[in-house]
Amino acid sequence: MKQNWTSLLLVAGLLGAPAAAMSAFQDGTPPVEQEKKKRDAKKQDEKKPTVLKVGSTVPERLALPDLNGKQHSFKDMRGKVVVVHFWSDRCPYEEHGNPVFARMEKKYAASKDVVLVGINANQNELGRKPAEGADYTKLYTNIRTKLKEAKLSHTMLADHGNKVSKMFQAKSTPHCYVIDKKGVIQYAGALDDDPRGQKGEKATNYVVDAVTAVLAEKRPTMTETKPYGCSIKK
Residue 178 has pLDDT above 70, yes or no: yes
43 pLDDT above the threshold of 60: no
Query: Residues 166-189: what's their mean pLDDT?
Result: 98
Q: Is the pLDDT of residue 52 over 60?
A: yes
Please, which residues bridge with residue 188 across strands?
177, 224
- The SS3 of residue 117 is strand
pLDDT at position 15: 46
| CA proximity to 227, closest of 91, 56, 59 | 91
Predicted confidence at residue 6, as pLDDT, reads 47
Virtual CA dihedral for 19, 22, 27, 28, nearest 10 degrees?
Answer: -170
Dist CA 18 CA 227 (whole Å): 61
pLDDT higher than threshold 60 for residue 18: no
Residue among 148, 122, 141, 130 nearest 234 (CA):
122
For the segment 212-217, the average pLDDT, to the nearest whole number, is 98
Average pLDDT over residues 199-211: 96
Task: Give the whole-angstrom CA distance, residue 116 versus residue 153.
Answer: 10
Q: What is the rounded CA–CA span in Å between residue 152 and residue 105?
A: 8
DSSP label of 197: S
> 102-156, pLDDT tens digit by residue?
999 999 999 999 999 999 999 999 999 999 999 999 999 999 999 999 999 999 9
Structure confidence by residue, pLDDT tens digits, 56-78: 999 999 999 999 999 999 999 99
What is the chain's mean pLDDT, rounded?
88
Report the C-alpha gap between 205 and 144 in whole angstroms: 26
Question: Of the candidates 55, 64, 82, which has an alpha carbon nearest to the alpha carbon of residue 179?
Answer: 82
**Residue 5 pLDDT exceeds 90:** no
